[in-house]
Chain A
Amino acid sequence: MEDIRILAIESSCDETAAAVVLNGRKALSNVISSQIALHTQYGGVVPELASRMHIEAIDHVIRAALAEADCTFDDIDAIAVTNGPGLVGALLVGVAEAKAIAFALGKPLLGINHIEGHVSANFLEHPDLEPPFLALIVSGGHTNLARVKDYGEFEIIARTRDDAAGEAFDKVARAIGLGYPGGPKIEKAARCGDPTAYPVPRGKVDDNAYDFSFSGMKSAVLNLLNHAEMTGESVRQEDMAASFQAAVVDVLCDRAVRAVKEFGEKKLVLAGGVAANGALRDGLAKALKKVRAELIVPSPVFCTDNAAMIGAATYYHYVKGERSDLSLNAVPGLEL
């Protein structure tokens, strides 16, 4: 079969990214322009500023992705773009850019789901990985456990009822004075902390054995902080970070193990920004080993928002003949 090169564009949140992916499996380039330094000044992502940064960066990033892949537009078979979920203003930049490029060159256009992209990041480093498998998607905006029945075919088993796991990380990091971005900062602090120092509840949802609730954990931390402030006790930042992180990891491991047992899948793929968290990777690897299932994780560069993962996801839609038309829109709440 002939080689397919997809130029993928991603701008759903605070990274402007472009990549060229070969046959859905090999990232020929993966360029990411991060806005973290800007948003850190505001303690979190400011949507309007993110959109402004995307516009400034996008052509430079696409050019760099083509150059790094040693390609020109002539070598590209299709243009792919994240069209949701994400921040609407941020998504629109990538979507309008991709549509214009596809139109100018007369090449096929495909709008791709960001979450499917995260899961597909695993195809880039695991050439033998094929559905079916389980996928645990943990990021700043999403926490889902899904059965991936075939390429692009997802059945959601669990979702969060309130905050996404990454969102809870950010909020707790802010509350204990670590700041943005919360995930890496909590992980670092937790390394020197005692995970049993503070009681953080393992949030459960009464009517569904799988769904997540992370706002209770966040509230427990806030309550502990308030209580300490009132009684004049000092709070050890490292211990609080470790206790909170351990609770999140416990809950995610519990659901993963339960799903492996119930559905008899032998592989679980971890995806999303929080997949870069070492404690989560270690915890899941251990828990899954006990039930003889394999944990598959992407390298950190493919955990963060990137375009190579979008290119990987696109390939399977492309070969099925799926195309988007030029009225493709950004859909902030796009479902899997």
Chain B
Amino acid sequence: MKIIGIESSSLVASAAVWEDGKLLAEYTVDHKKTHSQTLLPMLEEICRMTECEMKTVDAVAVSAGPGSFTGLRIGAATAKGLGLALDIPLIAVPTLDATAWGLFGVKDLICPIMDAKRGQVYTGIYRFDEEDRLSILKASCAMDFGELAEQLKALGGRVYFLGDGVPVFREKAKEVLGENARFAPAGQDRQRAANVAALGALLLAEGKTVTSADFAPEYYRESQAERVRRERESKAVVHD
């Protein structure tokens, strides 16, 4: 079973080739956001190096959100194009689940945070249980970081933060959680396509796939135009 992993939800662009429990190759770049130019050449490069013929690929696992709207769509359109052309299924891997997977086996709380601007983060709360299964204590959402920190404090114990929200909210996290706020080291602290592919393999085994035509990212936030319109309409109702 061969799976291509694709991750472009944040500042990181990453592509991976996974086969039968083995990571054949991964190419991850966290430098300038030029995913539209770099992602496909990166995938091409690792396929060439691993002599991976595209027609031997069984599925494409893609980081499905939340994250940068444009970043998610570059990954989504890339995965959809591969799925459509090769007639293979896609696996929609929740971005934050795959991020948490990077701290496999950690028994403390795991909290990936992605900077969602306006003081908010895209986040979820995770822990690996005694059987090393990833359990989700709080599902993916967008929320104020302050509120998240208070929730984590209430849960108690150490919290490992990771993701591109860390540089933005590190001090605030320490302020609320003190010594319990821990931060994952480089290499384990960002999105990676290897994790998307690995988690994708588990989902594939459970039969959780989607056709390329029907796949779209999960944004976890409406567009500004929709928000403005909804606010205007709800005000209009009040005045009536």
Contacts and interface: CB of A to CB of B under 8 A. Distances in A.
B225 A326 contact: no
Given A104-B82, A326-B44, A92 B74 contact: yes
Interface stretch (B172-180, B197-205, B212-220): B212-220
B43 A60 contact: no
B188 interface: no
Contacts of B39: 96
A328 B70 CA distance: 16
If over half of A's interface residues share one DSSP class (helix, strand or loop), that class is named, otherwise mixed; here it is helix
Interface string A74-100: 000000000000000100111111111
Choose among B44, B84, B211 the residue with the greatest number of A CB atoms under 10 Å from its CB: B84
Nearest to A92: B36
A103 B43 contact: yes
A130 to B, nearest CB: 34
A328 B38 CA distance: 9
Nearest to B211: A59
A63 B83 CA distance: 12
A155 to B, nearest CB: 30
B90 to A, nearest CB: 10
Nearest to A41: B229
B47 to A, nearest CB: 8
A230 B216 CA distance: 50
Given A89-B69, A92-B70, A329-B37, A100 B80 contact: yes
A56 interface: yes
Nearest to B72: A55
B61 interface: no
Interface string A34-64: 0000000110001011011011101110110
Interface string B47-62: 0000000100000000
A103 B44 contact: yes
Contacts of A92: 36, 70, 73-74, 77
B36 A330 contact: yes
Interface string A230-258: 00000000000000000000000000000
A49 B219 CA distance: 12
23 contacts: A49-B225, A54-B73, A55-B73, A58-B80, A59-B84, A89-B69, A92-B70, A92-B74, A93-B73, A95-B36, A96-B36, A96-B74, A97-B78, A97-B81, A97-B84, A100-B80, A100-B81, A101-B85, A103-B44, A103-B81, A105-B54, A326-B41, A326-B44
